[in-house]
Amino acid sequence: MELDNVLWMLTALAAVVILLTRMRLSATRRQSGHAQVSGSILAMHAVVGVSALTVWIYYLTSPSDLLGLVSVALWWLEVILGILILLRWLPGGGRHAAPSVDDSWAQGPSLSILGHVGMLLGVTFITYCVLTGKIT
């Protein structure tokens, strides 16, 4: 499989993770181990995610060194924000987490863990590709 195809698939998966994370965290019902995270932090997480995705797509269509570095920086900011929110959200993961209850998405936070760890791995691969000049 060509590297371009892999990067476009990772881009599509990142878009799905950003969308589902925003939908899940903005749900009005209590969810499994849901921490009391302020709306402004959630909004910043969504804005950084959409910005990273937008800059990254533009970079894939017309690569330049500066654009690649900006997109990588935005991706890492998004991953760090997401993992910090996730750590706070895990049941027993912090004093801010509510007791674990079932939600309509999954039994516990496993779907969120999968998404955020997947983003971490994907952003690591994206960083490797950008920093080594694999994208032309």
pLDDT of 12 reads 95
Could you give the number of structural domains in the chain? Answer: 1
> Is 8 within the bounds of a domain?
yes
**Residues 126, 63: Cα–Cα separation, whole Å:** 13
pLDDT of 40 reads 84
pLDDT of 4 reads 92
> Is 27 within the bounds of a domain?
no
pLDDT of 24 reads 74
> Is 29 within the bounds of a domain?
no
pLDDT of 18 reads 86
Q: Is the pTM of this model over 0.85?
A: no
> Is 121 within the bounds of a domain?
yes
> Is 45 within the bounds of a domain?
yes
> Is 67 within the bounds of a domain?
yes
> Is 28 within the bounds of a domain?
no
pLDDT of 48 reads 95
**For residue 73, what are the domain limits?**
3-21+37-98+107-131
The torsion angles phi and psi of 15, rounded to 5 degrees, stand at: -60, -40
pLDDT tens per residue across all 136 residues of the chain: 799 999 999 999 999 988 887 777 666 555 554 556 777 888 898 899 999 999 999 999 998 999 999 999 999 999 999 888 888 776 665 554 555 455 555 556 777 788 889 999 999 999 999 999 998 7
> Is 48 within the bounds of a domain?
yes
